[in-house]
Chain A
């Protein structure tokens, strides 16, 4: 029997439905309106959460959206992709005895309103006459550019990809954030007067020297590098996880998905790849990880989600060879692993057991084993820290007038969209202070 054709649009449609107006009002009423609220503290961008929620309760949705935008221009993305359990909702005072307030979904409700009614922020500051270049139109770059524009600076963003939005557009699976949400968000940033130039690669189409000549400051928000190689035989038959996700967002109908898919890795991106494969028709999806479930880097809720999706796990397995036939991969040979003493990451080091080879059948193998450190050859003299760009408290790099934010500086701690957004905010403040006046009060609208 021919399996039913899967409609990728439906299979990958946004998982969490929007709240109805009634559900949002009921949930908003449940909020206690804490003073100096812990949710606000826990949010890296410190959105005044009780305030925006009370505005939903009083049906002042324009004010609610404004409250969010005041702290976070990428509220629509954050409402969808933030690990709220680890942030605002995790800190909700109602969490202990009841259910925490559904802050993420309420934020999305207010952001959906803003999008429907084009109720977007406007620039109130006078032009400063200063211009700033931002490299990379991911969340950090867009946030930074938007905040600089709000402070009155002329801001240009250079993006090497065809579309802006970075990971929001290309890297977050549609189940969590459809590409159009990210693209609309970039249009909102443009409406603040930001110019976004796509298809321009820093270091190839434009040099640092040129930018330094033309602009008063340069901000690097170049994100991370490519997926590392596994260094195993047959690797050319392995699909890159980030490319896999990208294809699912830009052209899901053309994405080839195997029947028996193996995903190497156990981070959030690996879960995303496995989810896509499962939803687009793979009969069996197995995630292969060299450590155990205790050391997995994906969030607890992602692991739960993956299990509910019917994804299988093979722990303590180190891929050693891809078995390839003329038609492509047919299996993944692995070595059994024992966990040894803690390594540099603080986790037990995986010790492959010699001669323990076994084979997992699979007709498609996807790797999602993190990302390489940012590629920085384009900027000589730039100091790094553990391979990431080194910055001071003001996000200034070792090169005068050049700042860096987002994943490319995050040598330690969790890299996330919302952290990148906050970086953008902080660096904008820092540049503004530097360019306009060290003593003049900030004109933050």
Chain B
């Protein structure tokens, strides 16, 4: 059985799953319960500057009847008295010596304020500190949270203050509300941080109520952008995680990264590990279903690792990073076409309409007699189950015209019905980069491009 234990920048935990700094880690009682359920660690909800909260603080994005593909919040850092938080942190750590207890912190941008909070956290016996440079609402208006994370120089300066004071591991939490995630990460590395974590929540407005015409949720008639998190943000988080893993400065530093942003299943978890995370933080899925989800996170991850032959989390971490590249390095001669498994096809024709309306018009409807037919071509007087089913044409890809765009594959509702099949393009492998170097005019001039295409046999219809 796979070994799920981790040692993350010196912080040990029986599995890589930590509760992210958020409402689920608001109190000692909650974290006790979470640890009983099996969570490997918890990042305490940010403590620091005094705050007051509002009602209707959580909005959500639902798709159809699927609730909470993402949550949006304007909750601030902990509004509980700091003494109570610190006392409970100490109690939790004493009760759970094998779990990771990390404390998220955010105070005014003054060296003495940071020194004081670091010392008070260390007094609790906590395993580490996370610097909250990400909160995108409320705190940022007061010059904290993402107001720091968005300026690499501030990140570096404050992290240096903290590193001077801290004796336990310090993790810098990054905001995704920035053009280039690499720059604040490098700042953290330069300041000597022990670890990075990402992503914090994304600026967002969930919607407008179509009855009241107020923002959703409405806080006494007003609303504003809140922090967006949950399954819907996962691809954004993965991209930022990979950006750090492939950045020369960050990756060479060897700094470990705690990944988060939409982790809801063990599959999500495995993907974060493969792209460079060595610990994982979860919030929205827990807010949706409770602490119990950690059981399948661990169980599923462990089973998958066994199946794939991974013995430790360390072996998984970053395993797929070498697959991350840029467009210019992709093989322009790689060719795949879509193929529809007629035995599995239920003839919903979603591939047909997607291809013909919006992609490359290479799926045909074929009648039982083998002829290409137009949609809606049955006689108006034809009806009934049998006739509709028996005369229904079969969608079929016209492979020579298929550019392999993969849209049909994505819209097909049947598992493994459409496959993207690699076919020989008959051309030698070549990247844009190689073309730009070896045959510069082809990449700069349409006429040269035309000649090149003719020469290698690329026909675009």
Q: Are the chains A and B members of one assembly?
A: yes
Interface residues of chain A, those whose CB is within 8 Å of chain B, are: 25-26, 29, 32-39, 41-44, 46, 57, 85-87, 90-91, 93-94, 96-97, 422, 426
Q: Which residues of B contact A93 (CB under 8 A)?
A: 346-348
Given known pairs A34-B349, A35-B349, the reply for A87 and B385 (CB within 8 Å) is yes
**Besides A26-B65, A38-B388, A38-B389, 14 other CB < 8 A contacts?**
A25-B65, A29-B65, A32-B350, A34-B347, A34-B349, A35-B353, A42-B387, A42-B388, A46-B383, A86-B385, A87-B383, A96-B346, A97-B346, A426-B381
A86–B389 CA distance with the chains assembled, in angstroms: 11
Q: Which residues of B contact A26 (CB under 8 A)?
A: 65
By secondary structure, the A interface counts as loop
By secondary structure, the B interface counts as loop
B461 within 8 A of A: no
B392 within 8 A of A: yes
Query: Do B348 and A41 have beta carbons less than 8 Å apart?
Result: no
Query: Do A57 and B383 have beta carbons less than 8 Å apart?
Result: no
Chain B proximity of A133: nearest CB distance (Å)? 25
Q: Which residues of B contact A57 (CB under 8 A)?
A: 64
Chain B residue nearest in CB terms to A44: B383
Among B339-388, those with CB < 8 Å from A are 346-350, 352-353, 365, 375-376, 378, 380-385, 387-388
Query: Do A41 and B65 have beta carbons less than 8 Å apart?
Result: no
Given known pairs A25-B65, A34-B349, A93-B346, the reply for A46 and B380 (CB within 8 Å) is yes
Query: Do A87 and B384 have beta carbons less than 8 Å apart?
Result: yes
Partner of B392, one of A41, A46, A94, A97: A41
Chain B proximity of A381: nearest CB distance (Å)? 27
Query: Do B353 and A41 have beta carbons less than 8 Å apart?
Result: no
Given known pairs A29-B64, A87-B384, A87-B385, the reply for A36 and B346 (CB within 8 Å) is no
A241–B387 CA distance with the chains assembled, in angstroms: 32
Query: Do B384 and A86 have beta carbons less than 8 Å apart?
Result: yes
A33–B346 CA distance with the chains assembled, in angstroms: 13
Among B280-307, those with CB < 8 Å from A are none
A240–B384 CA distance with the chains assembled, in angstroms: 31
Chain A proximity of B362: nearest CB distance (Å)? 16
B413 within 8 A of A: yes
A316–B347 CA distance with the chains assembled, in angstroms: 43
A252–B380 CA distance with the chains assembled, in angstroms: 40
Q: Which residues of A contact B352 (CB under 8 A)?
A: 35-36
A373–B86 CA distance with the chains assembled, in angstroms: 91
Query: Do B347 and A38 have beta carbons less than 8 Å apart?
Result: yes
A36–B374 CA distance with the chains assembled, in angstroms: 10
Q: Which residues of B contact A97 (CB under 8 A)?
A: 346
Chain A residue nearest in CB terms to B393: A36
Most A CB contacts (10 A, CB to CB) among B65, B376, B383, B413 go to B383
Q: Which residues of A contact B353 (CB under 8 A)?
A: 35
Given known pairs A25-B65, A44-B383, the reply for A91 and B388 (CB within 8 Å) is yes
A91–B378 CA distance with the chains assembled, in angstroms: 15
Q: Which residues of A contact B385 (CB under 8 A)?
A: 42, 85-87, 90-91
Q: Which residues of B contact A35 (CB under 8 A)?
A: 348-350, 352-353, 375
A41–B353 CA distance with the chains assembled, in angstroms: 17
Query: Do A43 and B413 have beta carbons less than 8 Å apart?
Result: no
